[in-house]
Chain A
Amino acid sequence: DGGITQSPKYLFRKEGQNVTLSCEQNLNHDAMYWYRQDPGQGLRLIYYSQIVNDFQKGDIAEGYSVSREKKESFPLTVTSAQKNPTAFYLCASRGKGTSGKGQFFGPGTRLTVL
């Protein structure tokens, strides 16, 4: 079955540590996205990538970094520079010419920084 996987589902880290969230898709989608969700707020775009080896900052990129070395994978690193990293992180992907199908979302990773 095609889909997006995010791992782990829950992640706990100590303050000051970098942490990398995994996102993998086998939908053959070109575009991938990372969002952050906080209670009572909509999704805010962190980074996105329209094609392999290229990515752009979203609305809240500070304190985060990404890479897109493979079409299937778009890992997100939450660095120690991110002031308030505890949140629910969602990865999404979109196929070319499929705007009517919107973006396809993974199950999310809940990051808690202690």
Chain B
Amino acid sequence: GEDVEQSLFLSVREGDSSVINCTYTDSSSTYLYWYKQEPGAGLQLLTYIFSNMDMKQDQRLTVLLNKKDKHLSLRIADTQTGDSAIYFCAELSNDYKLSFGAGTTVTVRA
């Protein structure tokens, strides 16, 4: 299967921007997603980007897609304590299956 890779940990000061990076391998992926998981809970879809887009902004979230390098990033502006969670990137394959990265644990410090 495809491998989606993310760094495992990110520590950020409250009020700063967070940037979470992801690389994927399936160049035919049509959609790429960012999910958020709080402790002991399921995954919540934060945002997604279609493969023909370079950037998508949704309030404090900005997604950048570099198809040439198969690189996806999620920027969270003005990071708050409620943003502390695990963030997963995922790619959608042609058979509608999702492949997930291992998740980046974001810790927001005061």
A residues touching B (Cβ–Cβ < 8 Å)?
Answer: 4, 6, 31, 33, 40-43, 45, 48, 50, 58-59, 90, 92, 94, 99-108, 110
Whether B1 is near chain A, meaning CB under 8 Å from some CB there, is yes
| Chain B residue contacts of A90, Cβ below 8 A | 42-43
Whether B92 is near chain A, meaning CB under 8 Å from some CB there, is yes
A42 touches B96 (CB 8 A): no
What are 26 A-B pairs with beta-carbon distances under 8 A? A4-B42, A31-B96, A33-B98, A40-B8, A40-B102, A42-B4, A42-B101, A42-B102, A43-B98, A43-B100, A58-B97, A92-B43, A94-B96, A99-B31, A99-B96, A101-B48, A102-B31, A102-B33, A102-B45, A102-B48, A102-B92, A105-B35, A105-B43, A105-B44, A106-B42, A108-B41
B103 touches A42 (CB 8 A): yes
The interface on chain B, measured as residues whose beta carbon lies within 8 A of the other chain's beta carbons, has a size of 26
Give chain B nearest CB distance to A85 CB in angstroms: 18
**Contact flag A99-B92 (CB < 8 Å), given A41-B102, A42-B4:** yes
Can you name 5 extra interface pairs (CB under 8 A) apart from A104-B45, A110-B40? Answer: A4-B42, A42-B88, A48-B97, A100-B50, A101-B45
Whether B30 is near chain A, meaning CB under 8 Å from some CB there, is yes
CA A41 – CA B99 in complex, angstroms?
12
| Chain B residue contacts of A106, Cβ below 8 A | 42
B103 touches A105 (CB 8 A): no
